[in-house]
A and B are shown apart, each in its own frame.
Chain A
């Protein structure tokens, strides 16, 4: 029986010729990732094994990104646990303030992930690297500790949903709109335990930035991983970022999928997910006048340079609406520098927006833009659960950087087609 792309990568990492959906396997790992929230718990679990070294100091990555620069004393203590551990273990890839970025923007940028890899990360959005043709999935801290010690993880081989992409996106429509549309169709548990495999001619029209955004949010449909085929666009990106040599796996012609969903990219419109689930996707025909208090442009989902370029294109020479707090967060130091050199930060600051150093901060209600009771935000982030960005009675609407920019200028949830076309 044919295998999906995910199954082929897992089989190769389990030393097997083939695997089938539902089998439990032990796979070798190319990378084990953690952050300042999850890694301290993993360090504690790792220490319980007694004195031992990590399986490969080049293959463990710790990124201080959630509450960094440290938001309070407890956050500072958590970073110290990670810093001390990485020093003792001589872990190569430790990223602290000044070198850090939001992990899922940082790792591809630094060339740490390549096609064909198996990656686990103690962060649910680790699924992002499927955009580059890797199998990557979020796990908890104990799995991270086990991975750091053994270089292995157990997996149940997933079956897959195929998403066949046709056509190409219209102006000011992005990968974010596509993935919100898809989650609107599948629901937040429609892909539970399964892979989401993107296929079709439409794939080749999407930038790596759009693919990273889409793979990033498959977890919001419950998926184990999302994965894109490796094409010239992927290979050019991997070369440009000095990634290791790719190992290209393709799904078999006779691979079996649980179901296939076809999405015509040319029909996708600017899309917004309403509180309090990412599946509450609406297009502007269904959206009335909804005033907002805050706009956040950033996160592992949409804090890349292309996202900032898109927002700046819409905000250039304009002023944010009175009463709206606009927070722009470049996802990595390199993106920050590139955005500065390209004049994007000047556009944001002149419009009345705040520009922050890289941090996950507001996305998970940590700091750097917390909402008060009853407040409403449009954010390019990935979750709009109750209390996600602050008070349990606040609201988060998920959208693309283009929608967020249009909203920043008008003070109400706004289509970029209305303000910029």
Chain B
């Protein structure tokens, strides 16, 4: 799968409380969550984000709460891919489980700038910054995780009897 989009860039330790503040956790409606995505970090995010955009961040992205509302809000806001130096582990699982594409790539996350156009090939693990021409290589997901993704997420894997 190949994804191309314009980059919105943030720093280290972007936590789930700023991705979707708990005052909005009295709902799990995707569009309601998307309307408040990143609100306590960047109030302009919801105005600026366009379908297909790519979110780039630093270390430990998605740290804090286990709320799946965080990757859901990001996905529902139109973000196609999150590239970070590293991910907090619960966020990482949740993203895979709901089918939000994520890539761990410290070099790409450091270099890529706000507004760059980036293309990512998830099968080959190659990320290209089309604005600068730079290319980055990442490790593909382990086979077990690829199988979950191939089945369309965790619940479909259960339905198909692989878990």
* Chain B residues close to A by CB (< 8 Å): 13, 15, 17-18, 21-23, 25-28, 40-41, 59-60, 63-69, 71-72, 86, 88-90, 93-94, 97-98, 142, 144-145, 148, 153-155, 157-159, 163
Contact = CB atoms under 8 A, between A and B. Distances in A.
Given A146-B97, A364-B17, 9 more contacts: A37-B67, A126-B66, A152-B163, A154-B163, A222-B89, A224-B89, A365-B22, A366-B25, A386-B15
Contacts of B97: 140, 142-143, 146
A122 B23 CA distance: 18
A387 B18 contact: yes
A277 interface: yes
Contact of B18 (A38, A123, A142, A385): A385
Contact of B68 (A41, A67, A364, A386): A41
A138 B66 contact: yes
A355 interface: no
B26 A142 contact: no
Interface string A254-278: 0000000000000000000000010
Interface string A33-58: 00001101100110011100000000
B163 A150 contact: yes
A121 to B, nearest CB: 8
Contacts of B89: 192-193, 222, 224
Interface residues of A, number: 52
Interface string A359-375: 00000111000000000
A124 interface: yes
B12 to A, nearest CB: 8
Contact of B86 (A40, A189, A383, A388): A189
B158 A365 contact: no
A419 interface: no
Nearest to B90: A138
B86 A142 contact: no
Given A37-B67, A189-B88, A383 B26 contact: no
Contacts of A412: none
A140 B17 contact: no
A211 interface: no
B21 A189 contact: no
A28 to B, nearest CB: 11
A188 B60 contact: yes
A387 B21 CA distance: 8
Contacts of B40: 386-387, 392
Contacts of A145: 154-155
Contacts of B145: 24
Contacts of A75: 26
Contact of A49 (B67, B71, B90, B159): B159
A65 to B, nearest CB: 13
B60 A192 contact: yes
Contacts of A37: 22, 25, 67, 69
Contact of A66 (B25, B88, B163): B25
A364 B65 contact: yes
Nearest to B60: A189
A48 B41 CA distance: 34
Contacts of A188: 13, 60, 63
B66 A142 contact: no
B22 A124 contact: no
Contacts of B64: 124, 383, 385
